[in-house]
Each structure stands twice: as C-alpha cells, then as structure tokens.
C-alpha cells in the first residue's frame, strides 16, 4: 500500500463518492464450494465487510456488481446493508451505467476494485481503479492502484482504508461505527 500513498493518488481518491466492488476473487478468495445439494457457498473476509461499512458511514456510496447469482451473496449484501447490488451481470458495464444514472455522479467520482477480465471495462472508465494482488495481469495493467492484499484477504479493506484516509474521514467513520452499539 505504501507505494501509492502519494499526492496524485490522493487527489483522485478525494473525489470518490461511490466505491464499487466485484465479489468472486475480490470480496472472496475466488473459491466456489458446492455442497451435495448443488448449493454454492462463499467465504467472506469480515475486515473487508467492515471497510465497506465504514465507507457507508462516512457518506461514500457502496455498490456491488457481480456475474454471480449465488444466494449466499444476496445474504451477505443484506447483512452489510448494501442497496446498490447488481447480480448476474455478465456485461458489468451496463450495470455500471445504470448505477451512474441512479446516483447522478460523474465517472471520475467512482472507484472500482476487481480481479478478472469482466472488470476491465468499468476500471477503464472510473476515476480510481484497484486490482487485488492476485488479479490477472490484464486487470493489473488497467488498474490505477494494485493492493498488497489478495482478494478475500483484506484487499477491499485496504482500498476502503485508503479512500477514508485520503478524504480525512477515518476517525469520523470509526466514531460513528462505535456509537451504533
């Protein structure tokens, strides 16, 4: 993370009003577990979830765009309180354009984190893009910033913490979170 803690990246991060994440390979490690009944299971990193909650508490919108239609992801999105959730999106760009229309913010005000080829079209349009450490080379080449953490292992939290720091919102978000109990 240290290598991108420089002024040009901070300037881009200061403008972000909405953070978009993929699921498989980003919020998860990319493994899909299928039980004996054909149900798909995923494992999510709780620190990534906390990062998303802190963004929302700081006033930054959070959205999820995924190709998956897995019910366990639906459940996790409800747990996190994510309302901008687009599942089964094989053309993620269409979902992104719909989100932009809903939120009425310019492309430079979006950040996106991804790991694989379907993420590239959005990454090329947003103001700030992140590739998880284990992303495919094409995604890394399209990213503004490469995280030090792998997908499902804190990469989303790393990106969230960077945005909060750049916007000087970390302390306020933490205070709001701690006052929820």
Q: What is the pLDDT of residue 1?
A: 47
For the chain, how many structural domains are there in total? 1
DSSP string, 91-156: SHHHHHHHHHHHHT--GGGEEEEE-SGGGHHHHTTSSEEEE-TT--HHHHHH-SEE-SSPTTTTHH
Domain span at residue 107?
2-178
Nearest one of 64, 129, 122 to 94, comparing CA atoms: 122
Provide the CATH number for the domain around residue 111: 3.40.50.1000
Kindly give the parts of the chain with pLDDT less than 50.
Answer: 1
The residue written with tokens 């993929």 in the block is 22
The total of other beta-carbon atoms located within 10 Å of residue 41's CB is 13
pLDDT at residue 180 in the model: 86
Among residues 75, 83, 74, the alpha carbon closest in space to that of 56 is found at: 83
Q: The tokens of 154 are what?
A: 């804190």
């Amino acid at each position: 993370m240290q290598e991108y803690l420089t002024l040009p990246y901070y300037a881009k991060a200061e403008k972000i009003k909405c953070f978009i994440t993929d699921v498989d390979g980003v919020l998860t490690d990319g493994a899909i577990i299928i039980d004996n009944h054909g149900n798909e299971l995923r494992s999510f990193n709780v620190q990534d979830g906390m990062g998303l909650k802190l963004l929302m508490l700081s006033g930054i919108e959070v959205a999820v765009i995924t190709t998956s239609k897995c019910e366990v992801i639906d459940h996790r999105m409800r747990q996190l309180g994510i309302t901008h959730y687009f599942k089964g999106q094989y053309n993620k760009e269409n979902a992104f354009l719909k989100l932009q229309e809903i939120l009425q913010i310019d492309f430079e005000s979006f950040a996106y984190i991804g790991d694989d080829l379907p993420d590239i079209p959005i990454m090329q349009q947003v103001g700030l893009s992140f590739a998880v450490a284990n992303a495919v080379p094409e995604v890394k080449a399209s990213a503004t910033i490469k995280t030090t953490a792998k997908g499902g292992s804190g990469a989303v939290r790393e990106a969230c913490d960077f945005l909060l720091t750049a916007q000087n919102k970390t302390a306020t978000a933490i205070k709001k979170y701690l006052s929820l109990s």
